[in-house]
Chain A
Amino acid sequence: MSQSAKFFYVQVKQLNDADAFYTNCLGMITESATISAKEKAILVRVNCETHIFLSEQKHQNQTNKIVLASDDCLEDYCRLKSRGVVFKKSPCYLSEGLSIEFSDPSGNDFIILEQRNYNED
């Protein structure tokens, strides 16, 4: 997986469960963070350019749909499947390329997209 968008702010039901999912199932690096004195958060480093802020509180700029770019969607699909990620359906061919979809335990939707330029020589 590599970068797509840069920062995602995502609401989760429980930080501990989310931390376990992002670390164990997705294999991402997480670290504790604080948004304010009262509010704890988790920073997920997807890669050097993409980060996800997980918080239990609701914020205005949060999203529940995260698109991550991939160099090889089938490789990511098999790797994540073997780590226990349940996909909504099998890899799907779109006009932009190949994609897979799954949700985290809080119901946030993840799309991994391998963009393919079909007009390239």
Chain B
Amino acid sequence: MRYVKELSNKNKIVSESTCEAVYEQQNDAYTIKFVFNGTENCEINKRKFSIYPDTFAVINAGTNFCSKIDSINPVNTFSVSFGEKFIKDFHHTFSNSNESILDGKEAKQTPAFVESLYPFGGDMRFNVLHLKNQLDNGLKDEMLINEYMYHCLLNYYKIYDKEVLQKLDKLSFIKTKTRAEVLKRLTLAKEYISSNYNQNITLENIAEQACLSVNHLLRTFKEAYETSPYQFLMQIRLNRAKKLLQTTGYPLNEIVGLVGFECPSSFIRLFKHTFNITPLKYRKSRLN
């Protein structure tokens, strides 16, 4: 099932539920891509990553973009694209003081987002879920759809501030250019971990993907994200295991393997240590 909603201001929403799909295109508008269940494998500028339900991807206008879905169960994807004027106006309002907005100068600057994966939670999740539910139920009111999309951008800018700008400040390099370059490489490391969390990945693999030495990766990753790459990997595995416990009936041993753990007992120990509840008790509590 697929529907496309295009608004008079060129804002566009595409919702799709499919087991198999391949798209290869030049992304013609600023786009935020979500996946509600399953995985969408993407490639932008020869960089591969996967979008899971706990992340979303941001893609700039003009970027060459490929995506592939290949799954036994239908994968539900949802993407919102912003018309050029809409995003320019938003960026102008968000980035400038009230006085300069009142000057009446036309919004000319287009933003350049850091194309990457971002955590999908908080207000962004609530607003996007409302928008999706409304559209699934046949919403036609453009004013309301645009209001949701405005808030979607507002939420993204807050996430961007937290995930990019604040992390830049945490890096101890003096030169701004160096900080930006290191954060870019750390973003690659995070993307790689998030997309390959269920594989047997090593620090060397992550460092190679990020074009950093292992020592440099360890030091700067901790500096920016206040956690080590290993801890970050474990957190992703545990959170995704939690989601599988919640939404599927898979046996525990299968979930352990699906999220990249080799030994069920170490998974159970770590799960209990992190969430103060055993995996099976957690599943039972969610069923109730």
Contacts and interface: CB of A to CB of B under 8 A. Distances in A.
A116 B130 CA distance: 12
A116 B126 contact: yes
Interface of A: 72, 74-75, 77-79, 82, 91, 93, 98, 114, 116, 118, 121
A82 B143 contact: yes
Interface of B: 121-123, 126-127, 130, 134, 141, 143-144, 147-148, 151, 242-243, 246, 286
A107 B57 CA distance: 45
Contact of B123 (A77, A78, A82, A116): A116
Nearest to A78: B144
B122 A78 contact: no
Contacts of B141: 78
A106 B126 CA distance: 34
A90 to B, nearest CB: 9
Nearest to A118: B122
What is the interface of chain A mostly: helix, strand, loop, or mixed?
A: mixed
A79 B286 CA distance: 35
Contacts of B126: 98, 114, 116
B80 to A, nearest CB: 14
Given A75-B134, A98-B123, A116-B123, A121 B246 contact: yes
What is the interface of chain B mostly: helix, strand, loop, or mixed?
A: helix
Contacts of B246: 121
A91 B148 CA distance: 11
A74 B123 contact: no
Nearest to B131: A74
Contact of B151 (A82, A91, A121): A91
A75 B123 contact: no
Contacts of A82: 143
A69 B126 CA distance: 16
A74 B130 contact: yes
Contacts of B151: 74, 91
A75 B134 CA distance: 9
Contacts of A72: 130, 134
Contact of B144 (A75, A91, A98): A75
A42 B219 CA distance: 67
A93 B143 contact: no
- Nearest 10 CB-CB pairings of A with B: A78-B144, A72-B130, A74-B147, A116-B126, A78-B147, A78-B143, A118-B122, A93-B123, A74-B148, A121-B242
Residue from the set B123, B126, B143, B246 with the largest chain A CB neighbour count within 10 Å? B126
B144 A74 contact: yes
A96 to B, nearest CB: 12
Nearest to A117: B126
Given A121-B242, A121-B246, A77 B147 contact: yes
Given A72-B130, A114-B126, 17 more contacts: A74-B144, A74-B147, A74-B148, A75-B130, A75-B134, A75-B144, A78-B143, A78-B144, A79-B144, A82-B143, A91-B151, A98-B123, A98-B126, A116-B123, A116-B126, A118-B121, A121-B243
A110 to B, nearest CB: 19
30 contacts: A72-B130, A72-B134, A74-B127, A74-B130, A74-B144, A74-B147, A74-B148, A74-B151, A75-B130, A75-B134, A75-B144, A77-B147, A78-B141, A78-B143, A78-B144, A78-B147, A79-B144, A82-B143, A91-B151, A93-B123, A98-B123, A98-B126, A116-B123, A116-B126, A118-B121, A118-B122, A121-B242, A121-B243, A121-B246, A121-B286
